[in-house]
Amino acid sequence: MSYPQEQTWAPFVGPFDPCPPILCKTYSTPPQLFMCFQPPNLPQFSPQEALRFGTLWPALYSPYESRWGKGR
């Protein structure tokens, strides 16, 4: 079962908001939210890869892509 790691939602836009509305916002959902327990015999990264990715298990790896500066 695959879960998207980025979710979207539409915030309330009031008629008297002083700023232009942001109609669609996004947030990250890390994979550990969807694992109730750690299954046995999960594949593991090598020690060098684990240090680079920040986790020992590929199933728990979640890449972060900054949106700061995009569209400016």
Say what the pLDDT of residue 2 is: 59
For residues 53-67, average pLDDT: 84
Say what the pLDDT of residue 12 is: 92
Which comes out higher in pLDDT, residue 57 or 3?
57
Chain mean pLDDT for the chain: 85
Closest CA to 61 of 35, 25, 37: 35
Residue 69 has pLDDT above 90, yes or no: no
Say what the pLDDT of residue 37 is: 85
Instruction: Scan for tokens 């790691």, then name that residue.
Output: 5
Other CB atoms within a 10 A radius of the CB of residue 60 amount to 15
Query: 35 with 59: CB under 8 angstroms?
Result: yes
Which comes out higher in pLDDT, residue 46 or 31?
46
